């Protein structure tokens, strides 16, 4: 990709929010975005527990400009608010993460999780309906056996296409703390779910048993100084996974070494720069997201101010460090006061691992080209992204003099943050979640 | 999907949000670096310790609010608690450092230029004499550990141990909560020289006995002492916030204890409660401005302010707790 700014913006919103009212509610805020492995589908989860799946339009010859548009394919309520009577606490329905399983038949499968429970959903199409059962009438009622006098062969009749989402497995009661990550193993049989203190390994078929692979809970909770913030399986090696911590380190574990991976096989950590040391050092070094590159060679981590790329063969320091919004370094106290410093920004790789993307404030998001070392700040906004217009790079002004088109640090809107983004697995199509809006941008087609 | 409709809806909302946009701590960043005359170390150290104190107070309130939730965001609570521990360590360290300066390190301090002991602005009155001996013994053993993590470089595991003196020798810990001298930078570029000096001096200070300095500071402001004492209590409580449904005293009593000691009047509780969504109404430097205006910061005046604000706070807390 030569020029980042050549994106054609499209704008989508979850359909229910359009129908309900112009004023969005807390429940409409998008909490996760994920493409499936082919990029044909894009799923979003929101705070209201809903999952919306978008499907990419097939290319049509008479409307070439419509290529690649995503339309709503299926919407379903994945999680409902619950109440834990034993602990007397409410369990939010907010979808924390969605992960697609590789497609193996005509149906699609995805895992979605809230704070406590992971669910396996099957999304399938139906355009035929069986009719003429012997034992049931047309409405599904069981017929009186005495009235059945002849044998009929049921037939399939065509009907309008219907997309169904059905829960196939519910994995519950394994997490005491809040689930922050789920990751499907490359063996496609197992997955892991991670909360603040533990990582559990599940078989996708078995819901009543999971194996605890990491447990960092101290015997005395008052001694707790570190939590797990994210975890992911290696894309090719089914025995390897990594997890990141609130102290800025990443541990890589090998499940062949022991059933309980309390001892890591690799420990990635950058020595702290003494010149940048402050009371906020630990908070800003806390890792909010960790992602393997598609190749499996690199790791990417996001902390509050930077995104770092690590080579799996070098634990002592990151290969590359990119400043996401360094101008906030002088504002850390205010960001601590208003709690923004605890925002969990995620990060994604492009299909070829050459570009990385992550979010910032003021509906800005950043892209870094690892080869050319160029970076760009773009804005997901309604005013600036007319359909098929080209996104203009934005600039934040740090010093005293503000040029035209620049925005000063003091006028950034910290309530508009882009935490969740996704990149199509093979093309330059990105999805950016900005509160209740989902923006899908596409590299310009010549 | 009706794109035209979308734009209409968004447009109206965009207008609204423009109107309500707030500025983010105007001009705050000038204060630390150039705002203070380099020659006036006293002033800068006072402002540093004030900032540190306000950060500590803010953190304690945040922790206390976490404490009221059945299931707080664990990551956030842990990070805040670690921040409090770090401040506590540094304050502990400051006190010993002063004693060391008096005893042996005057030369080193003057050589470094900027350091000479900061004003005993918030030195703590202690109750050394009323403490049980067991707890007094606790402090010297805890001290070296505290210093060993002052470099922060490899402080991963040791830090855990070092700051857990709350449970073992909490009274002692509360008594060494000194501030007022130079410490580490809390914002990059601010007081950097002093911080370097500080960390250079950190190592030789390890064997300083806290009790000695306790006696020296004994006759200091009594109110201060009570306040620090209370903070330590609050800290003990808030560090226990992680256990779901733990067996700490009920939120009401804990609250009362906390807010009678911590001056919450500087903080916009609303901002903290609404957390993520709210834009900051006042920046930290605004806080500091107000602090420096009232001049007798956080000691006598705050104690009385605090009382007057208590009713209001109680009211807010009632709403939060839902009682």
Strand partners, A76: A51
Q: How many Å separate Cα A191 from the centre of its chain?
A: 15
**CB A266 within 8 Å of CB A252:** yes
Selected for mutation to probe chain A from B20, B82, B179 (highest A CB count within 10 Å) is: B82
- Which residues in chain A have their CB less than 8 angstroms from residue B290's CB? none
User: Residue A295: CB partners within 8 Å, gap ≥ 6?
Assistant: A235, A353
CA distance A24 to chain B (A): 10
Residue A417 backbone class (left: φ over 0; alpha: ψ -120 to 50; beta: rest): beta
- Flag if B87 and A222 touch (Cβ within 8 Å): no
Assess whether pLDDT exceeds 50 at residue B211.
no
Selected for mutation to probe chain A from B79, B84, B153, B184 (highest A CB count within 10 Å) is: B79
- Which member of B14, B55, B244 has the closest CB to residue A382? B14
CA distance B20 to chain A (A): 10
Segment B167-184 shows an average pLDDT of 35
Residue B273 backbone class (left: φ over 0; alpha: ψ -120 to 50; beta: rest): alpha
- Flag if A337 and B283 touch (Cβ within 8 Å): yes
- Which residues in chain B have their CB less than 8 angstroms from residue A175's CB? none
With cut-offs at 50, 70 and 90, classify the pLDDT of residue B316. Answer: low
pLDDT higher for B270 or A234? Answer: A234
Helix (H, G, I), strand (E, B) or coil at B124: coil
What total of structural domains would you count in chain B? 1
Domain limits for position B22 = 3-321
CA distance B10 to chain A (A): 7
Tell me what pLDDT residue A193 has. Answer: 98
CA distance B23 to chain A (A): 5
Tell me what pLDDT residue B265 has. Answer: 41
- Nearest chain B alpha carbon to A415: B277
Q: If contacts are CB pairs under 8 Å, which of residues 204-233 in chain A contact chain B?
A: 221-227, 229
> What pLDDT, in 10s, does the model give residues B119-173?
333 323 222 223 333 333 333 333 333 322 223 333 333 333 333 333 333 333 3
**CB A121 within 8 Å of CB A76:** yes
* CB-count burial class (<10 Å; 0-12, 13-18, 19+) for A273: exposed
- Which residues in chain B have their CB less than 8 angstroms from residue A225's CB? 78, 81-82, 85, 159-160
Selected for mutation to probe chain A from B9, B24, B53 (highest A CB count within 10 Å) is: B24
Share of chain B above pLDDT 90, in %: 8
**CB A423 within 8 Å of CB A348:** yes
Tell me what pLDDT residue A384 has. Answer: 66
What is the Cα–Cα distance from B254 to A399, expressed in whole angstroms?
A: 45
Helix (H, G, I), strand (E, B) or coil at A156: strand
Tell me what pLDDT residue A405 has. Answer: 81
Question: Which residue pairs from A138-145 have beta carbons closer than 8 angstroms and sit at least 24 positions apart in sequence?
Answer: none
Q: At what angle do helices B74-103 and B133-148 cross, to 10 degrees?
A: 100
pLDDT higher for A63 or B178? Answer: A63
pLDDT higher for B116 or B58? Answer: B58
> What pLDDT, in 10s, does the model give residues B190-210?
434 344 434 433 334 434 343
Q: If contacts are CB pairs under 8 Å, which of residues 399-428 in chain A contact chain B?
A: 409-416
In chain A the first and final C-alpha atoms are separated, in Å, by 13
- Flag if A89 and B2 touch (Cβ within 8 Å): no
- Nearest chain A alpha carbon to B186: A278
- Which member of B1, B23, B85 has the closest CB to residue A71? B1
Domain ranges of chain A: 10-18+29-114+117-122+270-443
- Flag if B5 and A18 touch (Cβ within 8 Å): yes
Positions in chain A whose pLDDT score sits under 50? 1-9, 12-22, 446
- Flag if A437 and B10 touch (Cβ within 8 Å): yes
Tell me what pLDDT residue A88 has. Answer: 84
Tell me what pLDDT residue B172 has. Answer: 36
**CB A360 within 8 Å of CB A380:** no
CA distance B219 to chain A (A): 31
Q: Is A440 on the interface with B (CB under 8 A)?
A: no
Selected for mutation to probe chain A from B71, B85, B284 (highest A CB count within 10 Å) is: B71
Selected for mutation to probe chain A from B30, B34, B72, B188 (highest A CB count within 10 Å) is: B188
- Flag if A275 and B192 touch (Cβ within 8 Å): yes
Phi, psi of A404 (to 5 degrees): -60, 145
CA distance B291 to chain A (A): 16
| pTM of this prediction exceeds 0.90 | no
Dihedral sign for Cα atoms in the order B237, B239, B244, B246: negative
- Flag if B239 and A338 touch (Cβ within 8 Å): no
Token pair of B86, please? 């770090």
What is the Cα–Cα distance from B91 to B173, expressed in whole angstroms?
A: 10
- Which residues in chain A have their CB less than 8 angstroms from residue B93's CB? none
- Which residues in chain A have their CB less than 8 angstroms from residue B168's CB? none
Tell me what pLDDT residue A149 has. Answer: 86
- Give the position of tokens 């399983």: A101
Helix (H, G, I), strand (E, B) or coil at B126: coil
- Which residues in chain A have their CB less than 8 angstroms from residue B78's CB? 224-227, 246
CATH architecture of A10-18+29-114+117-122+270-443: 7 Propeller (2.130)
ipTM of the assembly? 0.89
User: Residue B52: CB partners within 8 Å, gap ≥ 6?
Assistant: A279, B87, B90, B91, B179, B183, B186
Assess whether pLDDT exceeds 90 at residue B212.
no
Tell me what pLDDT residue A199 has. Answer: 97
- Flag if A280 and B6 touch (Cβ within 8 Å): no
- Which member of B52, B152, B164 has the closest CB to residue A277? B152
Tell me what pLDDT residue A415 has. Answer: 94
**CB B221 within 8 Å of CB B303:** no
- Flag if B284 and A333 touch (Cβ within 8 Å): yes
- Flag if A221 and B280 touch (Cβ within 8 Å): no
Q: At what angle do helices B251-261 and B222-238 cross, to 10 degrees?
A: 150
Taking the CA atoms of residue B224, residue B225, residue B231 and residue B232 in that order, the dihedral angle to the nearest 10 degrees is 160
> What pLDDT, in 10s, does the model give residues A38-95?
999 999 999 999 999 999 987 666 665 556 689 999 999 999 999 988 888 889 999 9
- Which residues in chain A have their CB less than 8 angstroms from residue B185's CB? 277-278
Token pair of A442, please? 């596409």
Tell me what pLDDT residue B105 has. Answer: 38
Q: If contacts are CB pairs under 8 Å, which of residues 331-360 in chain A contact chain B?
A: 331-334, 336-340, 342-343
What is the Cα–Cα distance from B262 to A235, expressed in whole angstroms?
A: 50
**Residue A254 burial (CB count, 10 A):** 16
The helix (run of H) or strand (run of E) holding residue A82 is strand A82-84
Tell me what pLDDT residue B77 has. Answer: 95
- Which residues in chain A have their CB less than 8 angstroms from residue B284's CB? 333-334, 337
Strand partners, A295: none
Q: Is A316 on the interface with B (CB under 8 A)?
A: no
Instruction: Give the 3-state DSSP-derived string for A23-81, with helices as H, strands as E and coil as C.
Output: CCCHHHCEEEEEECCCCCEEEEEECCCEEEEEEECCCCCCCHHHCCCEEEEEEEECCCC
As a residue count, chain A comes to 446
Q: At what angle do helices B74-103 and B192-202 cross, to 10 degrees?
A: 70
User: Among A115, A20, A25, A1, which residue's Cα sits nearest to residue A391?
Assistant: A1
Taking each continuous run of H as one helix and of E as one strand, the counts in chain B are: 15, 0
Q: How large is the greatest C-alpha to C-alpha distance in chain B, in angstroms? A: 78
User: Among A237, A154, A227, which residue's Cα sits nearest to residue A196?
Assistant: A227
- Flag if A224 and B166 touch (Cβ within 8 Å): no
Q: If contacts are CB pairs under 8 Å, which of residues 291-310 in chain A contact chain B?
A: none
User: Among B295, B289, B250, B243, which residue's Cα sits nearest to residue B266?
Assistant: B289
What is the Cα–Cα distance from B49 to B232, expressed in whole angstroms?
A: 17
- Flag if A283 and B79 touch (Cβ within 8 Å): yes
Q: How many Å separate Cα B269 from the centre of its chain?
A: 17
CA distance B136 to chain A (A): 22
């Amino acid at each position: 990709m030569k020029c980042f700014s050549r994106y054609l913006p499209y704008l989508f919103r979850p359909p229910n929010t359009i129908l309900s009212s112009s004023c969005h509610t807390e429940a409409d805020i998008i909490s996760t975005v994920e493409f499936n492995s082919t990029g044909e589908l894009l799923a979003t989860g929101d705070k209201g527990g809903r999952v919306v799946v978008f499907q990419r339009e097939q290319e049509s010859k008479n409307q070439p400009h419509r290529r690649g548009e995503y339309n709503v394919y299926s919407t379903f309520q994945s999680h409902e608010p619950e109440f834990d009577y034993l602990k007397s606490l409410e369990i939010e329905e907010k979808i924390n993460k969605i992960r697609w399983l590789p497609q193996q038949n005509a149906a699609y499968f995805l895992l979605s999780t809230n704070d406590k429970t992971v669910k396996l959903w099957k999304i399938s199409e139906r355009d035929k309906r069986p009719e003429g059962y012997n034992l049931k009438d047309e409405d599904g009622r069981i017929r009186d056996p005495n009235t059945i006098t002849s044998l009929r062969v049921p037939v399939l009749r065509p009907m309008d296409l219907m997309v169904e989402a059905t829960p196939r497995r519910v994995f519950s009661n394994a997490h005491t703390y809040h689930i922050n990550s789920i990751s499907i193993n490359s063996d496609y049989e197992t997955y892991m779910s991670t909360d603040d203190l533990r990582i559990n390994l599940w078989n996708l078929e078995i819901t009543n048993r999971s194996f605890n692979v990491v447990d960092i809970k101290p015997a005395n909770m008052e001694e707790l100084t570190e939590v797990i913030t994210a975890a992911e399986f290696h894309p090719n090696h089914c025995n390897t996974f990594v997890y990141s911590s609130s102290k800025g380190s990443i541990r890589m574990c090998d499940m062949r070494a022991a059933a309980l991976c309390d001892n890591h096989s690799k420990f990635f950590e950058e020595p702290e720069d003494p010149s940048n040391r402050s009371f906020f050092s630990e908070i800003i070094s806390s890792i909010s997201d960790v992602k393997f590159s598609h190749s499996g060679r690199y790791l990417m981590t996001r902390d509050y101010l930077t995104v770092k790329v690590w080579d799996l063969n070098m634990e002592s320091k990151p290969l590359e460090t990119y400043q996401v919004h360094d101008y906030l370094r002088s504002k850390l106290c205010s960001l601590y006061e208003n709690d923004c410093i605890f925002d969990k920004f995620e990060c994604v790789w492009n299909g070829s691992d050459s570009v990385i993307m992550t979010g910032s404030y003021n509906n800005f998001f950043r892209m870094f080209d690892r080869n050319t070392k160029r970076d760009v700040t773009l804005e997901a906004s309604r005013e600036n992204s007319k359909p098929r217009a080209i996104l203009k790079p934005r600039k934040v002004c740090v010093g005293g003099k503000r040029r035209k088109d620049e925005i000063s640090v003091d006028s950034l809107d910290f309530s508009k943050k882009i935490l969740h983004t996704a990149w199509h697995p093979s093309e330059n199509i990105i999805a950016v979640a900005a509160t209740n809006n989902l923006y899908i941008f596409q590299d310009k087609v010549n | 999907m009706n794109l035209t409709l979308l734009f209409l809806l968004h447009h109206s909302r965009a207008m609204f949000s423009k109107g309500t946009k707030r500025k983010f701590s105007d001009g705050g960043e000038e204060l630390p670096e150039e705002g203070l005359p380099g020659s006036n170390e006293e002033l800068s150290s006072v402002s540093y310790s004030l900032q540190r104190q306000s950060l500590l107070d803010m953190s304690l309130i945040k922790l206390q609010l976490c404490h009221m939730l059945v299931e707080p965001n664990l990551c956030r609570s842990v990070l805040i608690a670690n921040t409090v521990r770090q401040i506590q360590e540094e304050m502990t360290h400051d006190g010993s450092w002063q004693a060391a300066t008096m005893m042996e390190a005057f030369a080193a301090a003057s050589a470094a230029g900027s350091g000479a002991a900061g004003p005993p602005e918030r030195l703590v009155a202690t109750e050394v004499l009323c403490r049980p001996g067991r707890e007094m013994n606790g402090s010297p053993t805890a001290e070296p550990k505290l210093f060993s993590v002052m470099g922060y470089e490899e402080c991963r595991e040791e830090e855990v141990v070092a700051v857990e003196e709350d449970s073992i020798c909490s009274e002692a810990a509360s008594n060494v909560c000194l501030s007022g001298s130079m410490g580490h930078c809390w914002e990059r570029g601010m007081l950097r020289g002093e911080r370097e000096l500080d960390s250079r001096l950190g190592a030789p200070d390890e064997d300083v006995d806290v009790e000695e300095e306790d006696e020296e500071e004994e006759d200091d402001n009594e109110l201060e002492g009570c306040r620090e004492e209370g903070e330590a209590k609050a800290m003990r409580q808030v560090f226990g916030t992680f256990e779901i449904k733990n067996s700490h005293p009920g939120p009401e009593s804990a609250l009362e204890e906390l807010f009678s000691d911590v001056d919450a009047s500087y903080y916009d509780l609303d901002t903290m409660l609404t957390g993520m969504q709210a834009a900051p109404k006042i920046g930290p430097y605004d806080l500091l401005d107000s602090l420096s205006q009232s001049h007798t910061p956080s000691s006598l005046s705050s104690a009385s302010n605090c009382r007057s604000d208590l009713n209001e706070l109680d009211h807010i807390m009632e709403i939060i707790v839902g009682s």
